Chains A and B, each alone.
Chain A
Amino acid sequence: MKKKWIAAFMAAAMIMTTLAGCGSSSGTTTDTGSADTETQETADSTDTATGDVTLSLAFHYPEDFYEENIVPIIEEFQKIHPELKEVKFTTLSGTTDEQQVTRLTGGQYEDVILVPSVLLASELPNYFAPLGDATEMASKYYYGDYMQYEGQSYGIPLGIVYEGLLYNKTVLDTYCDGVVPKTLDELYTDLEKCKENGITGIYTNAGSVWTMRYWDNLAITMSGDDDYANKILTDQTPWAEGSSLREADDILADFAKKGYVEPDVVTADQWDSSLTSLGGAKTAFMFTGTWALSQAQEHAEDLGLSADSIGFIPFPYKNDVSSDNKLRMRIAQDLFMGVNKNSENLELAKEFCAFFCENISLALGMNEIMVDGGENQPDLAFLQDLDYVETYTSPAKDAKIQEMAGTAEIDVYSYDGYLLDYVMLPVMNGGEPQYDKLNELWGKNFQ
């Protein structure tokens, strides 16, 4: 009797759970369907109704940034679209990329939201609404086609930056005879002098992982081929002798070997300590994007130096530099904003997303994204006067790189965390960079 009861109960429970599973999945499909139709209805009705539409926005800066810099943008936008009542803000500050993906898979996320950089390009259409034809977007915005899948663009960049070295002028004046390096040899001389004086030459921040992504982009710069990154799709040994990828990584390995980098490269999340170190004249250089310039200047001011003491130069990767043989510097994309494909006010959200990205860049310490008439950071205006520097943008990285990176478990052309495991740590422990191992792992893609 007892057993029968339990059996019946279990059976009922099982049926209910399976049904619950079916119910939820079919539920979501109908939901999305109706959401789409609703969107159109609301888009039509927005012309008549005023002040009752609410949008939500989520990105990675803290709450106080919202009050100061986002609210004015929203007010501007409301002048064009009076039907917009308010934009609710959620900060993603302190959430990891993984957590952001989890939020997306959970299905409850904001109308306009930061696109997590670890998301596969093929996954974009599952969460984000297409914002337009990729080539068209690219003609309008720098890197407008970067977040593309099957010809459609799914993200607009928050701003664009230059990739290069932040440096502390005070350190260079005190220990390096004020030489701001223009060539690779000059950089080495400076780093050696820093080491002799107990100053960290270059703070790599390798433990934070995401801070390493500039090194692979340096390979694109060094190769002279703007589309170099996509060559990895067909290259079975990308780290072969003489390849730009290996040359760029070799510079890093050399720095690590000679002890120019910070002593602890493993401890995670040293971003703030690195800024303090640079601002406080304990570090000479940092290889990053110009978006960090204002942060570093703030740290310098807090530590009693002037904001002027932090400067920016292109990475001097070669020795023969002149106006005929220019130093290339990459204009880099930063993070991207996308639009929730299930947004109740899809059209308005798309417009707001574009408006937001067009206007937020300067506040984030970046240059504006518009190809025509985008404003630059005033601090960086001098770069255009340097006759030995030329800038370039690289075409969108193929979505397949990410998949291949997953197979090989090497996050190449992404966060470049592999550099710590395969290049820096082996060298710092008395070995050689493990390029053969990297080639072998990458070779898994061609088996």
Chain B
Amino acid sequence: MTKKEKGKLGSKREWQKRKILILFLTIPMLFLLYFTVYPIITMFYYSFTDWKGSVSPYDFVGIYNYKNIFTTESYRNVFVTAGYYLLAGLLQQVISLFLAVLMNKKLRGSGFFKGVIFFPFIMNGVAVAMAFRMFYQIGGGLDTLMNFAGLGDYIKVWIGDPKTCNFALAFIFLWKNVGYSFLIYLGTMQSISSEYYDAAAIDGAGAWAMFKAITYPNIKMIVGLMATFSIVNSISVFDIPYVLTNGKNGTNSFSTTLIETAFSYNKYGQACAMAICMLLIAAIVMVFKNIVFKEENENTYE
């Protein structure tokens, strides 16, 4: 009897709680649906049409737009471009992991170094691209540095040369984002209890052994997450090629091509298909990451 009453009371209070929750959630949910879900659904719908923008009439063209992405040469090039950024993204993980391990030790002036490493990430992307434009221009920062180091013979027209152009741009991507993954890695490492390291030190473990047996297993999940991010980012990179080259000279990324297709050539349907394709790639990478790392997660508890 008492138990039942208690249950009733509890459910009443729970109902009250739920009512508040729903009230508070309604407005943000409406915003989310209207500004995120609804546009995506509309975009999906338009991706099957030859919509030319605003109120002009359109026809359904089936999967023609999707087929185009893989059969048109200038569109296909975005995957090549993404390769350069992916390379930079993976290199970025290695470098930032290395820096994070260094900074995790009690170094003198580590606060200063942390600031220096993180600073590029909080800078505006366009500003970074502008700064690098001066760095790469003929007689600019890089040329001066190379002359100083006696490498003057190897100087190229960095942005103008198709062989170096994508590397030059991908380097900016690497430089800008190292700070971000560095911060995430460092944060995770600092949450590892120092007792493990103390115990390992007593057992006589070296730095590499400590990293392999203590640090890495603890940050494995984050490594996976950051790798996923770098894949997704490498596909959607926008500000760097847009500001520096307008996507010319083989540097067009998914985003710059999408903008050009929609706004310069008025092929909104095609652009919607590209956006959906980008979304799908991101989703696939995420799902793949979840499968791979979930299994490993279970293994660690066995």
Contact = CB atoms under 8 A, between A and B. Distances in A.
Contacts of A406: 52, 264-267
Interface in A266-323: 266-269
Contact of A267 (B18, B56, B160): B160
Contact of B245 (A16, A268, A411): A268
A122 B54 CA distance: 11
A421 interface: yes
B157 interface: yes
Contacts of B244: 267-268
Nearest to A14: B33
B265 A409 contact: yes
Interface string B124-138: 000000000100111
Interface in A342-391: none
A207 interface: yes
A231 B200 CA distance: 81
Interface residues of A, number: 39
Contact of A266 (B29, B38, B248, B263): B248
A266 B74 contact: no
A15 to B, nearest CB: 11
A73 to B, nearest CB: 31
Given A98-B259, A425-B162, A267 B54 contact: no
Given A267-B159, A420-B248, A126 B133 contact: no
Given A264-B138, A405-B265, A417 B248 contact: yes
Contact of A13 (B18, B30, B56): B30
A52 interface: no
Nearest to B243: A268
Contact of A429 (B30, B34, B38, B162): B162
Interface centre among A269, A402, A403, A411 (most CB of B within 10 A): A269
Contacts of A14: 33
Given A13-B30, A123-B54, A266 B264 contact: no
Interface string A1-39: 000010001000110110011000000000000000000
A72 B73 CA distance: 52
B104 interface: no
B266 A263 contact: no
B74 A409 contact: yes
B33 A98 contact: no
Interface centre among A105, A126, A264, A421 (most CB of B within 10 A): A264
Contacts of A417: 246, 248
Interface string A80-100: 000000000000000001100
A207 B22 CA distance: 53
B245 A267 contact: yes
Nearest to B42: A21
B38 A17 contact: yes
B238 to A, nearest CB: 13
Nearest to A20: B34
A21 B263 contact: no
Interface of chain A, main secondary structure: helix
Contacts of A429: 162
B297 interface: no
Contacts of A425: 162, 248-249
Given A17-B33, A267-B133, A207 B246 contact: yes
Interface string B241-267: 001111011000000000101011111
Contacts of A209: 246, 248
Contacts of A98: 259, 263-264
A97 B263 contact: yes
A280 B188 CA distance: 55
Nearest to B38: A17
A21 B160 contact: no
A14 B38 CA distance: 9
Given A209-B246, A409-B74, A425-B162, A9 B22 contact: yes
A101 B157 contact: no
A266 B249 contact: yes
B43 to A, nearest CB: 14
A282 to B, nearest CB: 11
Name the 4 nearest CB pairs between A and B, nearest first: A98-B263, A406-B265, A264-B160, A266-B249
25 contacts: A5-B22, A14-B33, A17-B34, A98-B259, A98-B263, A98-B264, A118-B264, A126-B54, A207-B246, A207-B248, A263-B160, A264-B138, A264-B157, A266-B165, A268-B245, A403-B52, A406-B52, A406-B267, A409-B261, A409-B265, A411-B264, A420-B248, A425-B162, A425-B249, A428-B160
Given A105-B53, A267-B244, A402-B266, 11 more contacts: A13-B30, A98-B259, A118-B263, A123-B53, A264-B138, A267-B160, A268-B246, A268-B248, A411-B264, A425-B248, A425-B249
Interface of A: 5, 9, 13-14, 16-17, 20-21, 97-98, 101, 105, 118, 120, 122-123, 126, 207, 209, 263-269, 402-403, 405-406, 409, 411, 415, 417, 420-421, 425, 428-429
Interface of B: 18, 22, 26, 29-30, 33-34, 38, 52-56, 74, 133, 136-138, 157, 159-160, 162, 165, 243-246, 248-249, 259, 261, 263-267
